[in-house]
Amino acid sequence: MVVVESQQPPSVFHNLSAIARYDLYVLTLTLRSSKAEMVTFLETKKITLVLSQASFNSL
């Protein structure tokens, strides 16, 4: 049990890092695009945050 718990944080941090890089990439593309796509980005980000929260709750 303790071993499993000690292995979880690195993977969580890795996932958050990957999500952050993806968000930055999408944001960079979006800044060159229209406001309609910006709204889509914000909606996608909400979904990402919800999924992140769900994965935290499962831990």
Q: Residue 43: is its pLDDT beyond 60?
A: yes
Q: Residue 1: is its pLDDT beyond 50?
A: no
| Full residue range of the structural domain in which residue 43 is found | 2-58
Q: What domain count does the chain have?
A: 1
Q: Residue 24: is its pLDDT beyond 60?
A: yes
Angle between helical axes of 2-31 and 35-58 (0-180°, round to 10)? 180
Percent of the chain with pLDDT over 90: 0
Judge whether 47 and 36 are in contact, CB under 8 Å. Answer: no
In the predicted model, what is the mean pLDDT of residues 26-30? Answer: 73
HSE toward the beta carbon, residue 22, CA cutoff 13 A:
11
Q: Which of 34-38, 44-48, 51-55 has the highest mean pLDDT?
A: 44-48
Average pLDDT, the chain: 67
